[in-house]
Structure 1
């Protein structure tokens, strides 16, 4: 990711409709895992220890807004982020469990975490299969992983270049990636579905008309709209939290999965 994009993230992700709405979807899907973990801890029929809180790891946690969103959940929060500036932003949020490191070589023992998230991370890795294997390694048997990735290669744009993406995924390529690990799908769907036609149209039009630009001058699509537009778009994106646990959406800008380690 371009260095200035971390500044943009930190400045916008607590208010911008895309981040706020998506975060509500993420929290809702994560709650499925946390609810099952808590139930199994209470009845004593799971590998989850009763001592201490469930451990949550956010791999590639960026500037920490999503991890901060778990403050009201009863979990111990940890994060790994390769960019030192982003780690500093996390510490400003009081997320002292965030350290610098990379997804391909996590500094944790096997099976340490009850829930691991890698949100828009795998598309940054040269070897996403090895990266997912490393993420899976640190999950406790019976624990969960929550993953999101950008969907549809035809949506590739300057936004992806600015964020240093290596790829966008199709439904089948993402499913194949998951199938290579000891993971059972609990939720698997497109998301950011409602706005897909608008995003697709904008990306394709920009691609058609854009002049060549140097990579160093590229920026992401993050622009703060008018207050009322921002509120409306937040509700539109966040509304998918009501259907995702029950319905596989047919299309979307991104893909999301919650899987249990078997």
Structure 2
């Protein structure tokens, strides 16, 4: 992403409905499947501007918390939050020893156009995880939803649940839960994106990270956060994201 997109992310990700709702969903995954691991050594691979690092630190207080990102601009914004455990690196070649972490999280990173083979970073996640360690992974779903937002944030691919499951297995990771997320907002989101795609690209690649009125922001965050109650109980048939919880084999 360019630095302008990082600035936008830094400015709104603490309160923007998409991030707030997904943090509730990710918390449900962690508390249901990774309660032991999150207290140990945790890596956020592709930590961006650091809101999820801050969430992990405040809510779970891991023994060790490391944020890794390829972008020096992103890490600079993380540093503004007071984090010291930051590493500049690519997820295709993590500078950590084997068996270093109990939990790895990675959100909307492996879809980036700079990553030619997305199984390579999955293998890296498996390598740095301890036996029985957990991976919590989130990626955009369904290529027919590809949009100007994806172009703006340099997304190259979107995933199906089956595709994600197969890639995890090939990387030496056992999928425990693979589901779509953002189900309730999928119909209007899909309709808007499909219509925009039919009309063609405007050539103005801007992300969807645009502030909305406070009341609408709260309502959307609440609606997305409802899915936290479904984690581990229901495999959702569609959504705008694909979320996986896997264990190192």
TM over 0.5, yes or no? Answer: yes
TM-score, normalized by length of structure 1?
0.90
- The yes-or-no answer on 1:242 pairing with 2:229 is yes
Runs of 4+ that moved beyond 4 A = none
What does residue 164 of structure 2 align with?
174
Match of 1:18 in 2: 18
1:147 alignment partner in structure 2: 137
1:211/1:149 CA distance change after superposition, 3 Å = closer
SS in structure 1 of the partner of residue 35 of structure 2 = helix
Question: CA 1:207–1:170 in 2, change beyond 3 Å: closer, same or farther?
Answer: same
Q: 1:160 aligns with which of 142, 146, 150?
A: 150
Unaligned runs of 5+ in 1: 39-52
Unmatched 5+ residue regions in structure 2? none
- The two structures have a TM-score, normalised by structure 2, of 0.94
Distance across 2 between alignment mates of 1:54 and 1:175: 26
How far is 1:37 from its partner? 3.8
Aligned to 2:103: 115
SS at match of 1:62: coil
Q: Is it true that 1:33 corresponds to 2:33 in the alignment? A: yes
Q: Which residue number corresponds to residue 67 of structure 1? A: 53
Q: CA separation in 1, counterparts of 2:223 and 2:132? A: 33
Match for 1:204 among 194, 202, 215? Answer: 194
Tell me whether 1:85 sits opposite 2:73 in the alignment.
Answer: yes
Residues 211 and 102 (structure 1 numbering): CA distance in 2 closer, same or farther, change over 3 Å? closer
The structure that has the greater radius of gyration is 1
CA distance in 1, matches of 2:36, 2:69: 27
**RMSD (Å), alpha carbons:** 1.4
Whole-angstrom distance in 2 between the partners of 1:208 and 1:200? 12
